[in-house]
Amino acid sequence: MYLMRIGAPGSEKPIARVDDETYVDLSDVVSDFNEHFFAGGGLAQIKEIVAARITAGDVKEFRAERIGAPIARPHQILCIGLNYSDHAAETGQTVPDEPILFMKSPNTLIGPYDDVRIPRGSTKTDWEVELGIVIGKRTSYLDSIDEALDSIAGFVVVNDVSEREFQIERGGQWSKGKSAETFNPAGPWFVTPDEILNVLNLDMWLDVNGIRRQKGSTSTMVFDPYFIVHYLSQFLVLEPGDLINTGTPPGVGLGFTPPIWLQAGDVMELGIAGLGSQRQNVVGPK
């Protein structure tokens, strides 16, 4: 299934995408794609409903509705740093022996076409196309990597927007440069694992103002999604609906000589094969 949320911020309704023109409205059976939905086995419950409504022709046409993030605000957004060896090289850092974990504020989550706002005082705002993992059930101390498959509800495109001065030069943990307002566009939909032939071989790309800046593949991840979920479960509890950003391929602004930073008026477009694409206008500080 390809699950989405459409509507004004704070009033999104849950739907299932049928194709580019039509969708199945699920708002009469599901309040939202949130912790309660995932924890209660919501994915299995709506699968037959979606199929039955498509068969019956009970579908609606997309109009001009805003597309929100495909999941409600999670308990936590967990991020894995330097998870592509070629990205680590462009930043001058070594490939880690274990996943590097940092947190991103859950209120950074926005829709895939919402504006990205440069923070006050920022001079080094950057882009990062990433594969996101949506957690489907409460997960802790998994015994094996194979068990991680049952903990994953789906996958999603995310843009892990970053302020490099805040992240690298201002002390403390990376979260400081990752948690500004609007810094985590997600969507347009999240895709259940059965729809993806091989999540470890998906092309990724990101353009800024029509110029290709990032091009990569999930095949070059250092730690794959299943390893990451198993690994994180040894240190903390993953809650239903949590989001994990799994790292970015090379081509971030920081990696250029000289570096390239986002400016108000720029346009980012990005996507992952089979998971859809995003487009964000960059706007100035409030």
Q: In the chain, what are the domains? A: 2-61 (no CATH), 77-283 (3.90.850.10)
pLDDT at 94: 78
Percent of the chain with pLDDT over 70: 100
Three-state secondary structure of the chain: CEEEEECCCCCCEEEEECCCCEEEECCCCCCCCCHHHHHCCHHHHHHHHHHHHHHCCCCEECCCCCECCCCCCCCCEEEEECCEHHHHHHCCCCCCCCCEEEEECHHHEECCCCCEECCCCCCCEECCEEEEEEECCCECCCCCCHHHHHHEEEEEEEECCEEHHHHHHCCCCHHHHCCCCCCEEEEEEEECHHHCCCCCCCEEEEEECCEEEEEEEHHHECCCHHHHHHHHHCCCCECCCCEEECCCCCCCHHHCCCCCCCCCCCEEEEEECCCEEEEEEEECCC
Q: Is the pTM of this model over 0.75?
A: yes
Residues in the chain: 286
Give tens-digit pLDDT for 190-218: 999 999 999 999 999 999 999 999 999 99
* Tokens describing residue 279: 């487009």
Question: Are residues 33 and 17 in contact, defined by beta-carbon separation less than 8 angstroms?
Answer: no
pLDDT at 40: 95
Give tens-digit pLDDT for 34-64: 999 999 999 999 999 999 999 999 999 999 9
Grade residue 89 by pLDDT with cuts at 50, 70 and 90. Answer: confident
Question: What is the rounded average pLDDT of the residues 212-225?
Answer: 96
Compute the mean pLDDT over every residue in the chain, rounded to the nearest whole number: 95
Q: How far is Cα 122 from Cα 276, in angstroms, rounded to an integer?
A: 29
Lowest mean pLDDT among 9-13, 86-90, 133-137: 86-90
Does residue 92 register a pLDDT over 80?
no
Grade residue 82 by pLDDT with cuts at 50, 70 and 90. Answer: confident
pLDDT at 96: 84
Question: What is the rounded average pLDDT of the residues 237-260?
Answer: 96
CB neighbours of 193 closer than 8 A, spacing ≥ 6?
149, 152, 154, 155, 199
pLDDT at 138: 97
Give tens-digit pLDDT for 133-185: 999 999 999 999 999 999 999 999 999 999 999 998 888 778 899 999 999 99
pLDDT at 240: 98
Does residue 119 register a pLDDT over 90?
yes
Grade residue 115 by pLDDT with cuts at 50, 70 and 90. Answer: very high
pLDDT at 95: 82
Cα 264 from chain centroid (whole Å): 23
Percent of the chain with pLDDT over 90: 91
Does residue 91 register a pLDDT over 80?
no
Does residue 69 register a pLDDT over 90?
yes
